[in-house]
Chains A and B, each alone.
Chain A
Amino acid sequence: EIVMTQSPATLSVSPGDRATLSCRASQSVTSNLAWYQQKPGQAPRLLIYGASTRATGIPARFSGSGSETEFTLTISSLQSEDFAVYYCQQYNDWPLTFGGGTRVEIK
């Protein structure tokens, strides 16, 4: 099973600042990596797939990068609605696996 490790567990950021979230895979997942956002009491929302392709309707301030085992989700200028938990997920191999999540909170 491919283990996905996200860091940091919690990120404190001021509105308007940049946030950088990391995701590491225990073995190569090539570019088969997705990112999701989840707010309290809501279902997750797909942000990025293919490591760097924004899903439909996702603002340009969200960007993904990386390949193989190291990935980054960057939020260029945090808006109030961006404070949430973010998960990475690999789909290179079965079983599909998620990272433990990064909580982005208001500083």
Chain B
Amino acid sequence: EVQLLESGGDLVQPGGSLRLSCAASGFTFVSYGMTWVRQAPGKGLEWVSGIFGSDSSTFYADSVRGRFTISRDNSKNMLYLQMNSLRAEDTAVYYCATRQFYFDDWGQGTRVTVSS
């Protein structure tokens, strides 16, 4: 059974940084692309970033490019999202999901609040 467990969400001030983690199990992690999707309070889904399994190529939404960095540690079955220069509009629940194009399995999310 695929399991994805996000962590690292917190209350942070504007301009601050956070690192989200996603612990994956139940599948061959190195073979799968992975994705971060977020959902602001009361809003719809927004794709944030993806990373291929094969060559770790990375892709970003324009809204986060240059501020967020996605990475993975295949030896630990871990996915990360380093978030810098956080803004109020980054406030959301952040989900990790399997695959890089459409998203098969999802974690339960971790909440990030950017506020002073």
Contact = CB atoms under 8 A, between A and B. Distances in A.
Interface of A: 1, 32, 34, 36, 38, 42-46, 49, 55, 87, 89, 91, 94-101
Interface of B: 37, 44-47, 50, 59-62, 95, 101-109
A30 to B, nearest CB: 12
Given A94-B59, A95-B62, A87 B44 contact: yes
- In order of increasing CB-CB distance, the 10 nearest A-B pairs are A34-B102, A91-B101, A43-B106, A96-B47, A49-B102, A98-B45, A101-B44, A95-B61, A100-B44, A94-B59
A97 to B, nearest CB: 7
- The main secondary structure of chain B at its interface with chain A is loop
Contact of B95 (A43, A55, A97): A43
Contacts of A38: 45
Contacts of B44: 87, 98-101
Nearest to A34: B102
B102 A91 contact: yes
B9 to A, nearest CB: 14
